[in-house]
Structure 1
Amino acid sequence: MSGTSEGPTPAADLDRSAATESETPASPGGEPLDGAGPPPVRRVRSAYRSVFAAAPLAMAVVDRAGLIANANEAFALLLGGGSEPLAGRPAADLLELAADGSTRHAYREVLCGRRAELRCTRRLKQPDGRTLWTQITLTPLDEADDGLLLSVTDISAHHDLQARLRHLQMHDPVTRLPNRTLFFERVTAALEAEAHNERGTGRIGLCYLDIDGFKAVNDTLGHRVGDRLLAAVAERLTACAEEAGRTRPSVPLVARLGGDEFALLVADSTGTEQVADLAESALKALQAPFDLSGQRLNVSASIGVVERHAAGTTATGLMQAADTTLYWAKVDGKDRWTLFDPERNAHLMTRQALASTLRPAIERGEFRLEYQPLVGMADGRLRGVEALVRWDHPRFGPLPPNRFVALAEEDGSIVPLGRWVLDTACRQARRWQTDHPDEPPLFVSVNVAVRQVWDSDLVADVARILAETGLSPRLLQLELTESAVMGSAGQPLQTLQALSDMGVNIAIDDFGTGYSNLAYLSRLPVSVLKLDGSFVRGFQHEGPDAPPNPADEVVVEAMIALAHRLGLTVTAECVETSAQATRLRSIGCDTGQGWLYSRPVTPDRISELLESTSYAVGNP
């Protein structure tokens, strides 16, 4: 057979070629045999042609240039059985072997002899419009021939069966929507670099939805009604997607991810507005009542909306953002859609990171205490300090209490943390007393959370720490918030009473922001009120022509007078100016705390202040 592009070799030529190769038959020893019949090579060639022509398998011989040299009848029928001769036509065009880059490359490699075989599946469209799925194999002939054998098998029936099985595997039986597996396949495909580069927008959008109160429908009406509701929801979401796709290049994919969770994927998003409009239309579609075989139901949905650049996004990251945003939508009141907010998410992630490392951080000793002076208003001398905990986080740096105390209260780690703060503060107070024996001893004030009162034996902890450190109970002050103390009964009240009987001072922190039930103070073992800074700030001039708020002055003066009548002392928080200090002093406030005197400082700085004869106003 020719290796050029001049067309197939006629059958007569094949006969002459065979005869040329062996004009006279020979014996096994090489001697010619008279009357022995056709030569063996000719018989092989003839048999080859017969099998090739009559075989039900579609076959063709392709030369090294990729042109059809010869083809059997099955091959012609598979391609439509047209009258146009196949010889000399490029095999790649007939079988679409150049439709994708990888197959095109492999085909050329086989033609050039650098690859032994090509196997691929191709979808072929016939002249009558029918489509066939075929498996194509291309392999070289024997070394004596320079051509290649091309075989094509019709696998349409097998392919259709596989397609039906895959459809069942990839679709939800209740709603007939794509299921979670197919959804993630589509998301992954949409995020591939080739996909979003070819589309041009380079963006992806997702609406992650679940039905508010669906569990109640299942529990009260049964799973059969629940399934009907899911199917009806699927129909409405599909209609929304189709409507949205009328003015867009593609229709959003609607999928059921499991339970009452659905997703609408916009693989070629044009921006946040498009995805938000889709979420809004989905909400409105589900707000209309559902009539399910006489059962009328009203439901709503919550939707998390995410829209972002496809580059750098993973399927997992996209779903995590959508899940977080769906949670926000439910927290914000349900029956709404909420757009993903990176700042809100960053705060949440930070909060989760802090919560997960709180207990190990206590064991690793990542916490330290700073102390803010409490100054006598009458003489300006240092009377005590408030211990304030700081977290030297290895990732986020120094963190103030408002970043982690609430988390510690939620997971219970406030109990061991509070115990460490109490122990460290008492030891430090005793050390100052030992190092400065000629100075009046400082009291130390420690904040106590409500959970410490309920979840730990606070009285035993305080007694043990005072015994171990040698600190006098009168030099320890425990601060609780007003809302925690007011209305206390049972164990909290018994705990406060036991601490007070021990000689420990109990202070109400941020007084004036909660119940402010002054009459109740007479029945509590409280010795100190700490006025909230919002009252003290009312003493400050707002401008050169704006005097202090007289109402704040009247309220503060009344609270101080009543506290003194009850035998309580008063500490003013957030004292920032000398004018505030002067006015507080004039109405009888006992101690002050704030940046006018000092920010929270290290223990060494407190030692320096103890050595001064009086506390200098404005000292940093």
Structure 2
Amino acid sequence: MQTAAPRGRNRSLKAAVSSIREAPAEPRPTVAEEVTERARQDYLDALPIAAAVICVSAGGDPYIDMANENFRQLTDWNGHEGKWASQVAFLQAGTIGRTLTAFLKTNEKARQFEGHDGKAIGGRHFTVGLARLKGTPVSPKRCLISLIDKTAQVETEKSLRAEMLRDSLTGLPNRLGFNEKVEALLEAPDFREGSHAVVVVDMHRFSRINECMGAIAGDELLITFARRLFSALRAGDILARTGGDEFAILMRLGKGLDDALQLADRIRAVLSAPFRLSELEIRVDCSLGIALLSGGVELAEEVLRNAQFALKRAKPTRGTQVYEPSQAKAARRRFSIETELRRAIESEELRLDFQPVIELATGELAGFEALARWEHEDRGAIAPSEFIPVAEESGLIVALGRWAIHAAAQTLGEWDRKAGKRLPLCMGVNLSAIQIARDDVPTLVEGALRDHGLTGDRLTLELTESAIIQDPARASKVLEALKGLDARVAMDDFGTGYTSLAYLQRLPIDVLKIDRSFVTGMLKDRDSVGIIRAVLSLADALGLETTAEGIETEALARALTELGCTYGQGFHFARPLGPDAALDYWLSRSA
């Protein structure tokens, strides 16, 4: 029969086994080795950073040979838990332990990386350095590990980044923060085309409210507006403030585009109640632009721009518009044309063609209308109907108009010199409403006449009704100044605008040009004939001459002559001609 071992004896046996597991088996050091070890420890303790010497046992497992006090404090290791790296929690968390083990298996001399202690809450960040040490008989592979605590720096950077991505007024993500969320969604492996949309909301009248009531009231309105938008969202939708009075929403689409349109309806519903600011109640409306996320879109900023493009189209009607790629393509082409048109004007790559103006009663050539033409070296011919609106929108119409007036006057002067006499021709040049508003047109015309030896009666300035309606007072001054130079004034495209008859009576206008939309189909349309009769009667009553545009057949020319129209132009007489061909045309008709 066996007797049980004393309890104290069992405790001593467990302690011995634990001691064997806790530390690597090492030979007993000599006195010289103890002195060397103390010197190494002193060296570690003298370092201002946390450091330790890591060795590899005969079995291939890393362990802590020695460490300074900084290392012990940073890693919460005091040596009693054991020296094996696998027993030190700090060396097992995150990438530090794996990188250390991998480094010891290589022949690298040094490595540096960013590490984390692995704690989800209150974790610390370090710059970890590994440097190879000379091996010893006991441990052929050793390295020095150093730790620089970067927790404060990392947390500060995180805080600054969070501030950088957040709108300080509303607490919502700002444009940069919103784009990061969209970018993350686009890069997600499970992203599906058409599964999400970006909705941009623009508040109407904010600048006016801000000006009238002050910045504090404006900020209060923005905060309240954001709260109402948020109340219209579903769980998971992301709201951001991407501009002064502009907000963006990233939403998941379960039912396709209908979900985004329903969101637009909910937003309008929550905005229907008036906003109370101080003692006032203010109603605020909005416009919305929607863009679907597709696999073809690589940048979040591009998605937002697409939604803003749709928003721009929605603003005139205060409605909701969905982004259409074809419309954006046309907008990019207009922008491209703007850039190239500026270059073309500066390098004088444009030219003028001249369309004959015929006196209908006699068939004689009365003059020409100068028309800008642009032959692009890559795109080919770009129609005036395409580049003239771009020029007006961008303001390039001022430079284009200056060039046209000088080029037309120069051509007319050259014809005189070639003919050896003053030709009985008048040159018509178009004026833009923007040019009248921004440029000193009378001085420009006076300079062109002087530079090319012309009198004012040989130049007809043609302007549209919109040029008069936009600023009647300025238009009146400009026209009076032009009449002071003896120049003629024609109102172009008459009948398509909203000119008051009082303007015709008050302004110094010489010619009414009947728009081609009335002329082309007049033989088949009684209404067009009636309009032309009315215009001709009005012109006769006011003592004005008339010019019909778009005459393409002999029958039209004959009918307009019978109705009493003064001049006509169109393909029936001639297409727009180059300078030399136009002069030859006059010579052939005058002969």
Decide: shared fold, TM above 0.5.
Answer: yes
Offset at 1:176?
3.5
1:149-548 aligned at under 5 Å gives the runs 162=156, 167=162, 171-179=166-174, 182-183=177-178, 185-187=180-182, 189-190=184-185, 195-197=187-189, 199=191, 205-215=197-207, 227=219, 229-238=221-230, 243-245=234-236, 252-257=237-242, 259-265=244-250, 281-288=266-273, 298-309=283-294, 313-329=298-314, 331-334=315-318, 336-352=319-335, 361-378=344-361, 380-392=363-375, 398-405=381-388, 414=397, 417-436=400-419, 441-450=424-433, 458-459=441-442, 461-471=444-454, 473-482=456-465, 484=467, 492-493=475-476, 496=479, 499-500=482-483, 503-514=486-497, 525-540=508-523, 548=524
Q: Which moved more, 1:576-585 or 1:266-275?
A: 266-275
Offset at 1:609?
2.4
Offset at 1:95?
3.0
Q: Which amino acid aligns with 1:314?
A: L
Q: Which moved more, 1:522-531 or 1:603-612?
A: 522-531
Q: Which amino acid aligns with 1:445?
A: G
Contact 1:60/1:149, CA 8 A, preserved across alignment: yes
Offset at 1:372?
0.9
Give the 3-state SS of the residue equivalent to 1:366 in structure 2: coil
Unmatched 5+ stretches in structure 2: 1-17, 45-49
Unmatched 5+ stretches in structure 1: 1-6, 20-37, 246-251, 541-547, 616-620
1:556 to 529, 532, 535: 532
Contact 1:373/1:600, CA 8 A, preserved across alignment: yes
Q: Which moved more, 1:445-454 or 1:479-488?
A: 479-488
Does structure 1 residue 587 correspond to structure 2 residue 563?
yes
Offset at 1:429?
2.9
Offset at 1:552?
2.9
2:115 to 117, 121, 124: 121
Contact 2:110/2:131, CA 8 A, preserved across alignment: yes
Structure 2 Cα separation of the partners of residues 581 and 458 of structure 1: 34
Give the 3-state SS of the residue equivalent to 2:298 in structure 1: coil
Could you tell me which residue of structure 2 aligns to residue 25 of structure 1?
none
Offset at 1:369?
0.6
Structure 2 Cα separation of the partners of residues 411 and 316 of structure 1: 24
Structure 1 Cα separation of the partners of residues 253 and 28 of structure 2: 62
Supply the RMSD in Å over aligned alpha carbons: 5.5
1:596-615 aligned at under 5 Å gives the runs 596-613=572-589
Structure 1 Cα separation of the partners of residues 331 and 258 of structure 2: 25
Residues 148, 367 of structure 1: alpha-carbon distance in 2 compared, 3 angstrom cutoff:
same
Residues 605, 292 of structure 1: alpha-carbon distance in 2 compared, 3 angstrom cutoff:
closer
Give the 3-state SS of the residue equivalent to 1:612 in structure 2: helix
Residues 422, 537 of structure 1: alpha-carbon distance in 2 compared, 3 angstrom cutoff:
same
Matched residues, number: 559
Q: Which moved more, 1:370-379 or 1:171-180?
A: 171-180
Does structure 1 residue 573 correspond to structure 2 residue 557?
no
Q: In the TM superposition, what whole-angstrom CA distance separates every residue of 1:36-90 from its partner, at most 9, and x where no partner exists?
A: xx543368779999xx9xxx99997656997556799989x979x9x99978899
Task: Give me the TM-score of the superposition, normalised by structure 2.
Answer: 0.71
Does structure 1 residue 14 correspond to structure 2 residue 25?
yes
Q: Identity of aligned pairs, percent?
A: 31
Contact 1:190/1:196, CA 8 A, preserved across alignment: yes
Offset at 1:574?
0.7
Does structure 1 residue 95 correspond to structure 2 residue 93?
yes
Structure 1 Cα separation of the partners of residues 330 and 203 of structure 2: 27
Residues 438, 300 of structure 1: alpha-carbon distance in 2 compared, 3 angstrom cutoff:
closer
Structure 2 Cα separation of the partners of residues 414 and 552 of structure 1: 32
Structure 1 Cα separation of the partners of residues 487 and 217 of structure 2: 64
Residues 564, 392 of structure 1: alpha-carbon distance in 2 compared, 3 angstrom cutoff:
same
Structure 2 Cα separation of the partners of residues 157 and 215 of structure 1: 44
Offset at 1:112?
1.8
